[in-house]
Amino acid sequence: MQIKMPKNFDHHYDHLLILSQFSLLLLNLLSPSSAAPPPIGICYGRVANNLPPLTVAVDILKANNIKNVRLFNANPATLSSFSNSGISVMIGVPNEILPTLTTSSAAVGWLQSDIFSSIPANQVRYIAVGNEVFLKDPFYTPHVVPAILSLHQALQTLNLSHSIKLSSPQAASVLSISYPPSSASFAPDLKPVLFLLLQFLRDTASPFMVNLYPYFSYLNNRPYVSVDYALFRDPNPVQDGALVYDNLFDASVDAFVSALEREGFGGVEVVVSETGWPTSGGEAASVENALAYNREVVRRAAEGVGTPKKAGEGVEVYLFDLFDENEKGGEEYERHFGIFGPDGLKAYDLGFN
């Protein structure tokens, strides 16, 4: 192994470097062949007027050993605060920007001015192109796949298409049938545009992203869905063919796995781009329940538990939300998903490692 060093490089470090490369090699040889646990991230929504300074957010993530964050836009100050922090980012392209990304040169310009001028490319894990567009913001539906294709060409031009993956997080209700999981199917009217997205995801080995909230399923389907089923503690599991489901998270992820298989895209991985539980503001919204939910989601990812259909293949998840967002609209509970208070202290004692 030949390592090039500057002339005046201290021999001491030279040896250290060789030694550390050697131990990396050893580690690789000795580590078991099982897959590494998937990344666990936190969403950092900023629709609030009482957020702590950006550096506090970065310090919180570091102190809790959280290596991935999802940002909903390419705000330069936010991106810069994560620059060289060792934290990987998923960056959202806001829905309103999608119509401007019609050519690869427009996309190169946007990537360079709005992303890579603020954060090194090797910290960017995903670019999330739009959010819940097909169901919640359908005006932009025709722009999603063209923007993805422009950004992909742009990433190819910049030689970054292998390290930065593109996807477009969807609302869970893009499934018109989700129960039982093996019968799940995408809403028929969305299938044409989903098909184009899924072809892209398959061809580029990129994941299907879904924002998944068992809390909402519970709220909308009481009393058929019990809070215990949503909180991983139902004593009465549900049988689905040969598989047994004792919680709604697994059942929901596997519903997507089945729906993807049904359309011929079984090889596309499912990433949960948002999930969480509110601490107040609604039925079953409490600190205890938020802790019970998030703790189990984190444990399953950290231990690579996987779902009944894909046992042992841990699901990559992004918890929602780093802080409460007091300027969000909608139901009261929408403003209470924060895991940390604005003072940087945990709202509840969730561990991450």
Ligand X SMILES: *[C@@H]1O[C@H](CO)[C@@H](O)[C@H](O)[C@H]1NC(C)=O
Which residue numbers are catalytic? 132, 274
Q: Using the 8-state DSSP alphabet, how is residue 29 labeled? A: H
Whichever of 15 and 162 has its CB closer to ligand X, that residue is 162
- 15 is a site residue for ligand X (CB under 6 A): no
Residues between 147 and 166 that touch ligand X (CB under 6 A): 159, 162-163
Surface-to-core class of residue 254, CB atoms within 10 Å of its CB (0-12 exposed, 13-18 middle, 19+ buried): buried
Whichever of 122 and 220 has its CB closer to ligand X, that residue is 122
Angle at 265 between CA 255 and CA 141, to 5 degrees: 80
Binding mask 114-153 for ligand X (x = CB under 6 A): ----------------------------------------
126 strand-pairing partners = 90, 165
Q: How far is the CB of 204 from ligand X (least distance, A)?
A: 14
Whichever of 124 and 290 has its CB closer to ligand X, that residue is 124
Q: How far is the CB of 122 from ligand X (least distance, A)?
A: 9
- Tell me the longest C-alpha to C-alpha distance in the chain: 73
Whichever of 65 and 163 has its CB closer to ligand X, that residue is 163
The alpha-helical segments, DSSP class H, found in the chain are 11-30, 54-63, 76-82, 104-110, 133-136, 141-157, 191-203, 214-221, 227-230, 248-262, 287-302
Tell me the residue number closest to ligand X, measured at CB: 159
Binding mask 46-75 for ligand X (x = CB under 6 A): ------------------------------
Q: How far is the CB of 256 from ligand X (least distance, A)?
A: 30
Total residues at the site for ligand X (CB under 6 A)? 3
Which token pair is 295? Answer: 């703790």
Which token pair is 89? Answer: 């980012």
What CA–CA distance (Å, rounded) separates 3 from 64?
35
Q: How far is the CB of 161 from ligand X (least distance, A)?
A: 9
Which residues are at the interface with ligand X (CB under 6 A)?
A: 159, 162-163
